[in-house]
Structure 1
Amino acid sequence: MRQRIILDVDTGVDDSLALLYLLASPDAEIMGIASTAGNVPAAQVAINNLAWLELARAPEIEVALGAAEPLEIPLRTTEDTHGPHGVGYAELPAPTRRISQRSAARMWVDLARRHPGELLGLCTGPLTNLALALREEPELPRLLRRLVIMGGAFDHPGNTTPTNEWNIHVDPEAAKVVFDAFSAAPPDRRPLICALDITETIEMRPAHLIRLAERAGSHPIETVSPIDPPTARSAASNPIIRYLTDAVRFYFDFHHGYDLGYLAHMHDPFAAAVALDPALARTRPATVDVELTGTLTRGATIADRAGMWGRPPNADIVVGTDPVRFFDRMIARIGDHARTVYPGEPIGEPVGRRR
């Protein structure tokens, strides 16, 4: 049975893979996509979402524009991590599809009211849109079937400050609104949290791109490496593989530049996989809150696992998984989808690297 999903993303290289993973999954039906300001501004996020939908030859799916700014602070974006347009070195074709007339927050509320108890919310960016939706419909924690969030860092260093994960850092007030509101969710509907503690073990490497191209039947099979110049572009025959290679290679270069290895942490597609199949993860209940006033720790996520605050758990934190199993599934799904929608189509004029 297909699971109906509201996807809230700040697309983003790894968000792009999360979107493609869901489009390629026979057990997923995306009901709407909220475009959140984060990795790049909201308007660019919406363009990226529309472009990936067209590239993947997806059915018509509503793409709604989110708030331009966080709830209380100026927007900070991260083009250094995800490229000037959020998709690395990829230069996606301009989409012909149009952005929805309703806002992302309005879409959250309307869809949840229309399908009570049926929708799975998946947030892989800042939580601004969901926080705004909660202001309009405080019953969202009971209307949604479940919420999955990629965000936070608990027993792990931050990736933005020593304590902060990026999505929470961009809009900590929104994150607190969401965690506070979902304290009212029934125990079986507590949000699933995929924090850096687990997502930084999801390491994509060049060999995964090779396997993806092979699964898609794309040629030539390319091997990316740190010596590839920024001007190089994939010559893959399959368009999905071609643009993914260019996007992910930027992400590899970013991580390599910080001495993390020639790899990329695939936070968001892992969260998408867990949303569809929670059995991929081992979890532990906790009461999660967000620090808003600390001089050095503002934006930090704190987990009380021992009940010291005297408050019931409001989240299930992912504490374990099998990365090999995840990558096998991701490669199979996206590779098969790419082969299905582009069965042996020829490439146009490749630019840059030849293998």
Structure 2
Amino acid sequence: MPKRKVIFDTDPGVDDTLAMLLALASSPEEMQLVLISVTYGNVPLKSCLKNVVSIFHVLDKELSWRKAQGKPEGFAALKAYKPIVAIGAEHPLEEEILREDGFHGPDGLHGVHEAHPHLSPEETWLSLFEDGVPTPHQDPSYYKYFTASTIPAHKEILRILAEEPINTISICAVGPMTNLAMAAAEDPETFLRVKEVCVMGGAIEVPGNITPFAEFNTYADAIATARVLALTSAVPSSTIPVVPETKLAPYPENLSRRLKLTLFPLDITTPHLLGRGFFYDTVTSVGAGSPLAIWITHIVGSVFRRMERIRGSIPEPALPLHDPLVVWYLLSSEDAAWQLAGNAPEDIRVETMGQWTHGMHVVDRRGRPRALGAASSVSGNTALDEIPGDEVGWLSAKRGNRVDRVVGSPGFEKFAHELMDRIFA
């Protein structure tokens, strides 16, 4: 029985790919990927889906190579479970224009499909997602590692949450949160059966990475993020964005429970780095001919070269491990070294209307105390849920979001070693 059953919502670029590899390299007792729900983001949806399928294709070749070399195969969770792969949203809730960051290249993986065509699957797999049937006479061996769904991703999310016991499924969201917002809008009570939603997104005390204020995943669909975060509030209507054009209904009043949401903003993810020297030392030691090493070397090596072009002379390029950090938390959340902000849960809201601040995570920096709530008492007097003059509820005991923000981990340098050790065991 796995410690964590996980829905992995992703728009595979470089760090998403490393995150998925880390999850698949876990032990069956640690983690089971139940569903990989694919969304647009770093690149359009079809490219993101191809990158997910490519991971299984490359790992199939890698396990065969390791077996032939007499090496430990690893990737026990990959062999023990068979996740569903489902296609999700093609664009944000309110816009047809994709807000791609451009950093990951036209295919999301820095041209690896063109550079290494033998490591890219032929697109016969498309028929699996269209009608659930393989193309005649085409049944590649990597098909055994996943089940293609013809049902939209947000409906698969709801189906799984409805069928599994309450508080047993965690969601790892490392792309734009459109799929999650659609699931929550369609059936909020079923969505709230989730144990925890772990989100890579936002920038609190540091600059954004797509604008001065916004992190990419949030910027790509700020309304979706705001709608999901609103479910952490006892009064979701107090923070849900007011967008007349939206096709999604408001949440009903008096939902049965609040959403538990753990946020991994750039503040905590950016310092977890994979340095160039350590990376090349590791992949070189794997041995010549490893399909995974060849594939990952092209992808991550391209990031290092791009960093040098953008930033000029720097001591050593290093890849921030944004998305893999969330998987590490899911694997080791019982470690006391994981720390939340001292005033957690925090009222963190998302700006959806600002011309220059679209996608910004907003917090109250005034240092004023929140109302204690009617259930509390001070000197024998019943405290209030509201503070006079606080019209938008920043100081309210009930209104506003309640987000757990991660500020500490078991170690910045430790993680890069654990990531590479697990992937290339």
Q: Same fold (TM over 0.5)?
A: yes
Contact (CA 8 Å) 1:20, 1:56: kept in 2 or not? no
2:156 matches 1:107: yes
2:405 matches 1:317: yes
Letter in 2 for 1:289: R
- Secondary structure, counterpart of 2:22 in structure 1: helix
1:122-161 alignment runs, 5 A limit: 122-140=172-190, 142-161=192-211
Letter in 2 for 1:154: I
1:78-93 alignment runs, 5 A limit: 78=100, 80-91=102-113, 92-93=119-120
Please report how far the alpha carbon of residue 186 of structure 1 lies from its aligned counterpart in structure 2 after TM superposition: 6.0
Residues 1:143 and 1:19: Cα distance change in structure 2 (over 3 Å): same
2:338 matches 1:281: yes
Letter in 2 for 1:283: L
Q: Structure 1-normalised TM-score?
A: 0.83
- Secondary structure, counterpart of 1:56 in structure 2: helix
Please report how far the alpha carbon of residue 141 of structure 1 lies from its aligned counterpart in structure 2 after TM superposition: 5.1
Contact (CA 8 Å) 1:13, 1:86: kept in 2 or not? yes
Please report how far the alpha carbon of residue 253 of structure 1 lies from its aligned counterpart in structure 2 after TM superposition: 2.5
Match of 1:241 in 2: 293
Percent identical across equivalent pairs?
28
| TM superposition outliers: structure 1 runs of 4+ over 6 Å | none
Counterpart CA distance in 1 for 2:281 and 2:199 is: 28
Counterpart CA distance in 2 for 1:302 and 1:150 is: 16
Counterpart CA distance in 1 for 2:183 and 2:195 is: 16
Residues 1:191 and 1:79: Cα distance change in structure 2 (over 3 Å): closer
Match of 2:21 in 1: 20
1:201-350 alignment runs, 5 A limit: 201-213=271-283, 217-219=286-288, 237-259=289-311, 261=314, 262-278=317-333, 279=335, 281-284=338-341, 285=344, 286-304=346-364, 307=370, 308-310=394-396, 311=399, 314-321=402-409, 322-336=411-425
Please report how far the alpha carbon of residue 254 of structure 1 lies from its aligned counterpart in structure 2 after TM superposition: 2.9
Structure 1 alignment gaps of length 5 or more = 220-236, 337-355
Please report how far the alpha carbon of residue 315 of structure 1 lies from its aligned counterpart in structure 2 after TM superposition: 1.3
Counterpart CA distance in 2 for 1:109 and 1:315 is: 22
Counterpart CA distance in 2 for 1:204 and 1:51 is: 22
- Secondary structure, counterpart of 1:204 in structure 2: strand
Counterpart CA distance in 1 for 2:184 and 2:192 is: 11
Match of 2:170 in 1: 120
Counterpart CA distance in 1 for 2:278 and 2:5 is: 28
Match of 2:67 in 1: none
Letter in 1 for 2:261: P
Number of residue pairs aligned between Structure 1 and Structure 2: 317
Match of 2:213 in 1: 163
Letter in 1 for 2:319: A
Counterpart CA distance in 1 for 2:257 and 2:309 is: 44
Match of 2:121 in 1: 94
Please report how far the alpha carbon of residue 281 of structure 1 lies from its aligned counterpart in structure 2 after TM superposition: 2.6
Letter in 1 for 2:307: H
Structure 2 alignment gaps of length 5 or more = 61-77, 114-118, 130-148, 235-255, 371-393
Counterpart CA distance in 2 for 1:301 and 1:140 is: 26
Please report how far the alpha carbon of residue 275 of structure 1 lies from its aligned counterpart in structure 2 after TM superposition: 2.2
Q: Structure 2-normalised TM-score?
A: 0.70
How far does the alpha carbon of each residue in 1:7-57 deviate from its partner, in whole angstroms, 9 at most, with x for none?
A: 000000110000000000111110010111100111111111011022223
Contact (CA 8 Å) 2:283, 2:297: kept in 1 or not? no
2:218 matches 1:196: no
Counterpart CA distance in 2 for 1:151 and 1:79 is: 14
Counterpart CA distance in 1 for 2:349 and 2:323 is: 21
Counterpart CA distance in 1 for 2:395 and 2:95 is: 28
Contact (CA 8 Å) 1:79, 1:86: kept in 2 or not? no
